[in-house]
Each structure stands twice: as structure tokens, then as C-alpha cells.
Amino acid sequence: MRVTPAGRTALVWFRQDLRLSDNPALRQAAEYGAVIPVYIGDPVEKSGGERSWAPGGASRWWLHHSLAALDADLRRKGSQLILRRGDPLTVLRDLLRETGAGAVHWSRRYEPAAAALDGEIAAALAQEGCQVRVFGSALLFEPESIRTQSGGPYQVFTPYWRACQAAPEPPPPLPVPSRLPGPEAWPASLDLAALELWPRAPWAGGLERAWRPGSRGARELLGDRIESTLLAYESQRDIPALEGTSRQSPHLHFGEIGAREIWAAVKGRMAALERGQEGRSSLLAWQRQLAWREFAHHLLVHFPHTPEQPLRPKFAAFPWRRDAAGLRAWQQGRTGYPYVDAGMRQLWATGWMHNRVRMAAASFLVKHLLLPWQDGARWFWDTLVDADLAQNTLGWQWVAGCGADAAPYFRIFHPVTQGERFDAQGDYIRRWVPELAGLRGGRIHRPWEAPAAMLAEAGVKLGKTYPLPLVDHAMARERALAAYRSLRG
């Protein structure tokens, strides 16, 4: 049945902007006329990112809850979220016909396939007489706005960050619209369960305990972390046993909170404090973390092949190994190196891993096991609640040494000394590798060197209750260096 509301009506197509605040697409639609918020679940995932990078299990779990939270926020404003499923262009055309809407608003996506699809949809709808408006709301700086003096894209973070600092200050975040006028009659909507987002993996309970998806959860977490970690961020962010990071990455990925909102909140909080040197350093560190996220999107837009292929072409010839058993042991946190295993188990249990441990775990896969970085990127993609194509690509290519601003090829994270440095007392390992919890002192980082009596007292049977190391560090390091040197030749 065709519904013809009085006055003008706009559809707001939500994707990765699942919030009411700082959402220019929603705000402009509210000024245009009646607003119909819509989310489209696409069975072939065309609208979810790259066609070969459909959202993973952890991301789908988060999205399920985030959509429920967004609908609740809209209903508190007298609106609601219309859920449909199918090809986005077909669904939007159907909704335009059903509602008599004359405009479609959405927020820009940056993944290459999603951006291309947006262009196709915008052109098709505009040709049919529909007003299409696309807004940038996910980033502080649009990727095309920050360029080198020669007009090209940056490939090194430090000069990119300097250019961001020299650019005009990001505009302040927009408030939630004071009203969201609805249509005279609402179009039909699917139940959330019909989108089939709930994962089959058995770790959903761990995610439930660790996270609260939605804008309210994002804002409450931000407020808590600004109060508890901001001043000590610079000194505590690398200690995985502490709650020393913002943990905003999944909220940012799904757009439950905007980068401009975090930028403004941090600057506002710091302005209210007496800024000692530690405070200034922590403020800068928070801003740099946001800038890294910006840099990742900058690279993805300008180098769209990088989710699958190395940015540096010579790395296409890298002599990667194939070792299904080694890959599985890494995925399960059974490498025999406790610090790495703790990170991989935290990932499986909570859908997240501390960033310092991510670097060590990723380095172990590509440099100790010589397994392709793409294998690690796909595992992270499926298990991280903050899986983001731009961030995932930048991080893995950085560790592998084949991307922008890459770590030198000879930088190989030692899987033991990393733990000794950043988890000196072994608290992080004891939490996530409980079979080693009884080991005293530094032996928890090197259980294979512990005396037999200590192992027996702790109930540890190497090779049975906890594995021996998959590879010897010294051997693996030399093998990796030889492989990297072969590219130089």
C-alpha cells in the first residue's frame, strides 16, 4: 500500500553511523521534513563493506545489539528504525514508492566496494528524481582533505599527523535533533532476528559480559575512561593487565559515537584540569590514537587494493609458509609463548585484544611462523568486535613490513621479553592462561625454563596441560630475517 505523508519525507539510511548525536544526515533530514530511519541487511553483504570482507561473527553480534540500541534511542524520540533486507538500491526504491519520500540521506562509507556501491545508488536515485545527500561524519578529516605538498596522499604517519595539526580544527559535534517528525504512517519493518546477525560461534556469552553496544554504552564508557585513565594514559596504555585504554574502537567503528565527539570531550576535560606535563602528554597520546584511525582511512581510500595486496609491490613475492597446524595453534592461543597465548585467548573470550599484545601476537604469526599476514587479518576480522577494514589493513601491513609507515623488517617482537616488559608480574597471563597461574615470578613468561619441581608444584605439565613453544625464537628470527633479506636481493 502506498503511504502518502503530508509535506516532505526523507529516508535516512543508517550503516556505520548508528547514533543520533553528531549525525548530519539525520539532522538535515529532520529539517527537510518527516524522517524515516532505515537499516538494510544485505544477504550478499554488498553494503557491509568489501564483498570479500563480509562482517565477521563478532561484528555481527555487535551489530545486532547496536541496532536494538539505536531503535530504542529513536523510540524515545517518537521515531523508530525500519529494518529491511535485500539489495540496497531495490529496498530504497521500494521504500520511496511506499512512503512517497522525496529524499534519501546517508553517511559516507570509505571502504572501496561500499563507496563504489554508494556512487551507483546515488546516481540511480538522482536520475529517478530523488534528492540524495551524502554526509561525512565518521572522521575528523576527510581523506582527500589532507595531502602532501605535491598533492598526493601521505604514506608515513608523522608528517600526516603534522598536516592534521596544521589543518583547521574539526568542527564541534552536532547535538541530537530536538525533534524527529515521523510520517503519517510507518512502512512495514522486519523483526531484528530476521537479519540473522546472531553468530553461531560459542563465545557470545563472553562478549555479553565484556561489552555494552550502543550510543549510551559508548558515552558512559568515554566518561568513565576520561576520568580514570586520561591523565595516566601515556604511562598506562601499554600495560595489558590495566584498564588503561579508551576501548572506544568498536563504538567508533559502528558509529555509536563520533570521532568529533571524542575529540571534543577529551579537549574539554583537559581544559578543565590543571595541565601538568603528564596531562599534556596524555592528551596528545589520545589525539594521536584518533589520528592513527584517520590515517588508516586515508590509506584505504587512496590505496584500495591493500586489504588483499601489500602496499609495497615487492612483498607480493615474499616466501610465506603454509602451516595449517601452526595457524590453528596461534588462533587457539596454544603457541607455547604465554604472552601471545594470553592475547589470543582474550580475543576469543571478549572479541578484543589489548593493542600492545596485538602487535606481539601479529608479529609472532608473520615473523616467527612466516604465515601470511592475510591469514591473521581474516582471523582478526572474524573475532574482533572492532574489526574495521581500514584499521585491520594498516595494522597487519605495518607488522608485516609491507605497508605504509611499516616497521623495519628487522624489528621482530620477542614474544617473551614483550611480556616481561609490559606484564612484569604476569597478571595478564594469569588471567587468560590460568593453567600457568601457579608459576611464580618471571618463570610464567618462560615455563619451559622452570625447574621440574616448580612446574609440578604449579600443576603444569609441559606438552600436556600447556604446550611447548611451537618454534625456537632464535631460529625463527634468523629464518624471518633471511626471508626479508631475499626481497632486498
Whole-angstrom distance, CA of residue 112 vs CA of residue 122 = 15
Average pLDDT of span 421-427: 95
Whole-angstrom distance, CA of residue 80 vs CA of residue 188 = 11
What pLDDT, in 10s, does the model give residues 337-378? 999 999 999 999 999 999 999 999 999 999 999 999 999 999
Residues in the chain: 489
Average pLDDT of span 175-183: 94
Q: Quick one: pLDDT at residue 489? A: 58
Q: How does residue 47 score in pLDDT terms, banded at 50, 70 and 90?
A: very low
Lowest-confidence pick of 37-51, 263-277, 288-302, 424-438: 37-51
Q: What is the dihedral of CA 81, 82, 87, 92, to 10 degrees?
A: -100
Whole-angstrom distance, CA of residue 333 vs CA of residue 358 = 13
What pLDDT, in 10s, does the model give residues 305-327? 999 999 999 999 999 999 999 99
- Say if residues 178 and 184 touch (Cβ distance below 8 Å): no
Q: Quick one: pLDDT at residue 269? A: 76
201 or 355, which is more confident? Answer: 355
- Say if residues 62 and 352 touch (Cβ distance below 8 Å): no
Q: Quick one: pLDDT at residue 230? A: 67
Task: For the domain made up of 139-173+212-303, give the CATH fold.
Answer: 1.25.40
Q: How does residue 291 score in pLDDT terms, banded at 50, 70 and 90?
A: very high
Q: Where in the chain is the domain with CATH 3.40.50.620?
A: 1-137
Q: Where in the chain is the domain with CATH 1.25.40.80?
A: 139-173+212-303
Lowest-confidence pick of 37-51, 191-205, 423-437: 37-51
Sheet architecture: strand order including 34-41? 82-85, 34-41, 9-14, 103-107, 131-135
Q: How does residue 55 score in pLDDT terms, banded at 50, 70 and 90?
A: confident
Whole-angstrom distance, CA of residue 328 vs CA of residue 326 = 5
User: Residue 428 pLDDT > 80, yes or no?
Assistant: yes
Q: Quick one: pLDDT at residue 441? A: 84
What pLDDT, in 10s, does the model give residues 115-145? 999 999 999 999 999 999 999 999 999 999 9
Q: Quick one: pLDDT at residue 236? A: 83
Whole-angstrom distance, CA of residue 82 vs CA of residue 205 = 27
Distance between first and last Cα of the chain: 69
Q: How many CB atoms lie within 10 A of CB 78?
A: 10
Q: Quick one: pLDDT at residue 48? A: 43
Whole-angstrom distance, CA of residue 468 vs CA of residue 449 = 11
Per the structure block, which three cell numbers stand in for 327?
A: 595457524
Q: Quick one: pLDDT at residue 43? A: 57
Counting residues of the chain whose pLDDT is more than 70, the rounded percentage is 92
Q: Quick one: pLDDT at residue 271? A: 72
Whole-angstrom distance, CA of residue 383 vs CA of residue 59 = 8
Architecture, CATH, for domain 313-488? Orthogonal Bundle (1.10)
Q: How does residue 1 score in pLDDT terms, banded at 50, 70 and 90?
A: very low
Q: Quick one: pLDDT at residue 234? A: 73
- Say if residues 183 and 34 touch (Cβ distance below 8 Å): yes
User: Residue 4 pLDDT > 50, yes or no?
Assistant: no
Instruction: Please say whether the dihedral angle defined by the alpha carbons of residues 386, 322, 463 and 335, taken in this order, is positive or negative.
Output: negative
Q: Quick one: pLDDT at residue 312? A: 92
User: Residue 5 pLDDT > 60, yes or no?
Assistant: no
The class that CATH gives domain 1-137 is alpha beta
| pTM score of the predicted model | 0.93
What pLDDT, in 10s, does the model give residues 58-109? 999 999 999 999 999 999 999 999 999 999 999 999 999 999 999 999 999 9
Q: Quick one: pLDDT at residue 2? A: 34
Average pLDDT of span 8-30: 97
Lowest-confidence pick of 172-181, 199-208, 440-449: 199-208
What pLDDT, in 10s, does the model give residues 368-418? 999 999 999 999 999 999 999 999 999 999 999 999 876 677 789 999 999
What pLDDT, in 10s, does the model give residues 458-480? 999 999 999 999 999 999 999 99
- pLDDT, averaged across the chain: 91
